[in-house]
Amino acid sequence: MVYDLETKQGEWVYRTNDLFPHNEKAQDSILTHDGSYVLYSTEGRGDLFQHAFDLQTKEVIDIGDGVTTFPLLDGNVMLVTHDNKFHYFDFGTKTAQEVHAPQLKEDEELGNFTVSKDGNAIAYYVSNKDKKTVLHLYRKS
């Protein structure tokens, strides 16, 4: 439902099944920073698939298979894929470009991660089977 605060009226614009709230653990907004898109996930093929609903055109945009998205200040999003890669998704072109792929050894796994609002910094930790954990910070040049 879209609710207009000025007119105090709401309108149902889109419904879907198997919806998951966007990035609820990080508690980021479900809206892009420019307010154009609602971000959400659905379960598909056993994994989460990320979508955006365009509030103006009422179009559903498939962002891609991924764990979550992070809304960026420029109105686009950073997608974190199931294979631990970070992709910049551009709503204008509806394409995703890989920004960073952590180099994980066989016994390592990616832990919690976050992306700065401008998309220029990605922080995450990597842990191994011996429970050794290392914090990584990636900055776009």
Is residue 117, in this structure, part of any structural domain at all?
Answer: no
Is residue 116, in this structure, part of any structural domain at all?
Answer: no
pLDDT digits (tens, 9 = 90+) for 16-46: 666 655 554 555 568 899 989 989 888 866 6
pLDDT confidence of residue 6 = 81
Q: Domain total for the chain?
A: 1
Is residue 123, in this structure, part of any structural domain at all?
Answer: no
One DSSP character per residue, 29-72 reads -SB-TTS-EEEEEEEETTEEEEEEEETTT--EEEEEE-SEEEE-
pLDDT confidence of residue 61 = 96
Is residue 127, in this structure, part of any structural domain at all?
Answer: no
Is residue 46, in this structure, part of any structural domain at all?
Answer: yes
pLDDT digits (tens, 9 = 90+) for 99-120: 999 999 999 999 889 999 999 9
The token duo for 133 is 């954990």
pLDDT confidence of residue 3 = 62
Amino acid at 36: S
Range of the domain at 80: 2-99
pLDDT digits (tens, 9 = 90+) for 58-79: 899 999 999 999 999 999 999 9
Is residue 49, in this structure, part of any structural domain at all?
Answer: yes
pLDDT confidence of residue 46 = 66
Q: b or e along 70-88 (b: 16 or more beta carbons within 10 Å of the residue's beta carbon)? A: bbbebebbbbbbeebbbbb
Is residue 119, in this structure, part of any structural domain at all?
Answer: no
